[in-house]
Structure 1
Amino acid sequence: MPTGVDDTCSTKTTIWDWPLRIWHWAFAIVVVFSLTTGLIGDISLLEWHVRSGTLALGLLVFRIGWAIWGGLYARLANYRTSPRAILNHFRGRNPPAPHTAPGIALVGLLLAIVTLQVSTGLFATDEIFTEGPLRQWVSLEFARNATFIHNRAHWLIVALVSTHVAAHIIYGALRDPTPLSMFTGTKAVDVPPTPHYAWRAAATLLAAALLVVALPD
């Protein structure tokens, strides 16, 4: 399976900066926790489900901010792809790059579906025990429609996460270093390293935290 790694490159370049790596693992934990507490069906876990959904919202806000003014390879400009690029990747025709075409597509789909899931969760209600923090701001009909979507879209997240994990298992079986990249932050590609923006990371984190805190209980 092609990975976008340059086998002729003797040096590794920092592609994933530390804010993006921390975000990645925090987001993975929160998404898995949210899915678990939502799918188990235990009423006592629903409060934790709402809390983790709110935290997921904060992480999404951080990622959006980091895609605008964060590290070089975390920005939207480096997440462009097309069906032709995806096909060429599997044919081995794409040059080595910081991100692979299928990886870009998968990440884009996953973030879009999680955003949909979190957004609908803000207004969702079971009309008995639990409701999202913004439920009172919308009509009951709107809330029911949001709940309908929220109770079904999570299966798309499960499918996309499973695909992501399966791809990295295959990489690992082929002894490809790609799965380690989100730990080390480096990749064997001949591109400039991403600069570090500690103050931007702090400002983006603060903005995301303020938004989460501003949500009603």
Structure 2
Amino acid sequence: MTGKKILLLAGDFVEDYEVMVPFQALGTVGHEVHAVCPEKEAGETVKTAIHDFEGDQTYTEKPGHDFELTHDFESVDPAEYDALVVPGGRAPEYLRTYDGVLEIVRHFFEADKPVASLCHGLQVLAAADVLDGRTCTAYPALEPEVRAAGAEWTDEVTREGNLVTAQAWPDHPAWLAEFLDLLGTDVEHAEPAPADD
């Protein structure tokens, strides 16, 4: 397998698990992931938020980590990338207000390149007007927004064409497996070494 070049859109208060886990997992299997944020450069950080489900009407939010960006947003040429990841959290609320972000997202859909998004990341896709006629999911409270963007709603990890969507970080195993399959990633499982007696 030849590793793909993947663009990851981040921003302050992106959901911690939804940026850290895909970034690390995709890199682990040989893909090159470039994490970027508007108005920030390589080496700068974005703050993350940890969202948890603790029996309240909605998720709780706690401070997360500082996530280091790997590349400058201003130098991104989406034509140089094979795939896109749009994580959730609170970052998508304002990332969708950047024309440059929306243009990047539209490029991946117009070129039919793999896109993985989950949770509130679908807010960016809805703002880019790329969901019309698709079947997808997002954080459950976003169902009205996803439907208003012209999409058919589902409650589970969904892969349709070039798009893989999930509701939140608990969906990582299925969501990442679908995305890796879409990327053509062959993950070989080595047999564990025998234990020393």
Instruction: Please indicate, yes or no, whether the TM-score normalized by the shorter chain is above 0.5.
Output: no
Higher share in helix: 1
Please report the TM-score for the alignment, with normalisation by the length of structure 2.
0.31
User: Per chain length, whose mean CA-contact separation is higher, i.e. which structure has more relative contact order (CA < 8 Å, sep 6+)?
Assistant: 1
